[in-house]
Amino acid sequence: MNKQPFLSILSVFFLITSCGKNDKSAQPGDAAQVKEYKTVTLQPQSATLYSDYPASIQGQQNIEIRPRVEGYIDKIYVDEGAVVKAGQPLFKISAPEYEQQVRTATASIKSAQASVSAAKLAVNKVKPLVEKEIISKYDLESAQYTYESAMANLAQANAALVNAKTNLGYTTVTSPVNGVVGSIPFRLGSLVSSANADPLTTVASIGNVYAYFAINEKKLLNFTEGKTPGNTLAEKIKNMPSVSLVLSDGTPYDSKGRIETVNGLINTETGSVNFRARFPNPKSIIRSGSSTTVRIPNEVKDAILIPQSATFELQDKIFAVTVGKDGKTKNTNITVMDISAGNYYVVTSGLKAGDQIVLEGVATLKDGSQIKANNQSTETVYADLK
């Protein structure tokens, strides 16, 4: 009769003991529950920083082609976007009056030449008679004046022919430079003159192109007070390294350029100043009007760099996660330069050499999280800086 209560008490005891063991094995913070994260110990690094600025492209020369004579467009020798050479015909203007002027001037020359010949004969005829005192010197002087007048008429006729030929030459409109033809608003048969508001077309000389971009006042001050050698702005520009161009599709242009000029005035509306860089364009890849990006390099030495993937943003602030000697994490607010080195931030405050930071999954870690640090070599982490 007493065996049943004893067995019930024994069963309860084993149940409590078993639950106690299960609870102990599930304690948080046990080594089996600590997650491993990749980390790196920060060391000063050298790198090239890049500043990107949106830029617009203009040809070295954008020349408006305008007619110098009035007439109807008889021929159009080129199409929009054609690459042309200096002196190549672009348009033919029908102006018959200039052909008539050439014919008239040519005839006038022949008439003047005949007058010169007749006047010269008269002088030669009168001269011996004067010498023999058969006639007076007045007759000789009169003949000489007639000869000089005939010579002047001949010179005038020659000048008229040159002018007529020049006007006739204006009926063929040629390209003044090597370049690319722009839009052509006129068509065959259109009446054109120098008074037209629109040019016949525009030829952009793109053997070299100019990239125009703007830098704000703060960056301009950093530039003028920076490490670029030179006492004046002109000297600093001359000593600047070559700059790169990134095309609209994101591909880098294969030729480097140079910054040539800086506008002397700051735009009061935007607080920026305009720069101009020149790039060679021998293959005519870049066209006037293109949208590109100018990339300016800046070398830094012994700087603290961290991968951008090792940071997260919160309320417009950038944070990195450091790891203490006890393996616990701490979210650290950092300040970085407004230009980056590829996929890396340049840290100006918040971190120092010797700090250990987490490289991945930082947004999910809270302050005081216990982790297992798998420290990576700096050569591995910063391999693409080399």
The string of pLDDT tens digits covering residues 60-89 is 888 899 999 899 999 999 999 888 998 999
pLDDT at 343: 85
Same domain, 192 and 261: no
Q: What is the CATH number of the domain that holds 326?
A: 2.40.420.20
Residue 26 within any structural domain of the chain: no
More confident residue, 270 or 157: 157
Check whether residue 166 and residue 243 sit in a common domain.
no
* Three-state DSSP state, 90: strand
274 within domain boundaries: yes
Q: What is the mean pLDDT of residues 79-105?
A: 91
- Total structural domains within the chain: 4
Whether residue 100 sits in one domain with residue 87: no
Residues 225 and 332 both lie in one domain: no
- Is 28 within the bounds of a domain? no
Rounded to two decimals, the pTM is: 0.59
d(CA 323, CA 309) in angstroms, rounded, equals: 16
Q: What is the pLDDT of residue 215?
A: 87
User: What is the structure's pLDDT at 9?
Assistant: 46
Q: How does residue 286 score in pLDDT terms, banded at 50, 70 and 90?
A: confident
Contacts of 206 (CB under 8 A, 6+ apart): 59, 60, 179, 180, 281, 284, 286, 287, 288
Is residue 6 domain-resident?
no
3 within domain boundaries: no
Q: Residue 41: is it exposed, middle or buried by C-beta count within 10 angstroms (0-12/13-18/19+)?
A: middle
Q: What's the pLDDT tens digit per position in 5-19?
A: 544 544 545 444 554
Confidence of residue 317 (pLDDT cuts 50, 70, 90): very high
Q: Within this chain, do residues 320 and 294 fall inside the same structural domain, yes or no? A: no
Domain that holds residue 124: 96-170
- Token output for 24: 């102990």
| Domain shared by 310 and 366, yes or no | yes
Instruction: Give the residue, 325 or 32, on which the prediction is more confident.
Output: 325
Q: Are residues 178 and 140 in the same domain?
A: no
307 and 381 co-located in one domain:
yes
Q: Read off the pLDDT of each residue in 170-175 and give the average, rounded to a whole number.
A: 93
Boundary of a domain, candidates 282, 300, 318: 300
User: For 98-110, what is the mean pLDDT?
Assistant: 91
Q: Average model confidence (pLDDT) for the chain? A: 84
Cα separation of 213 and 205, whole Å? 20
Residue type, 242: S
Q: What is the pLDDT of residue 128?
A: 82
Asked, for residue 342, whether it belongs to a domain, the answer is yes
Supply the angle between the helices 96-131 and 137-169 in degrees, to the nearest 10.
160
**Farthest-apart Cα atoms in the chain, separation:** 189
Q: Say if 362 falls within a structural domain.
A: yes
Q: Which two tokens stand for residue 245?
A: 């161009």
Which residue, chain included where needed, has tokens 């840290």? 347
- Same domain? For 81 and 182 the reply is yes
Q: Label residue 162 by pLDDT band (50, 70, 90).
A: very high
Same domain, 154 and 106: yes
CA distance 342 to 81: 37
Q: What is the CATH number of the domain that holds 283?
A: 2.40.30.170
Of 52-56, 255-259, 281-285, 330-334, which gets the smallest average pLDDT?
Answer: 281-285
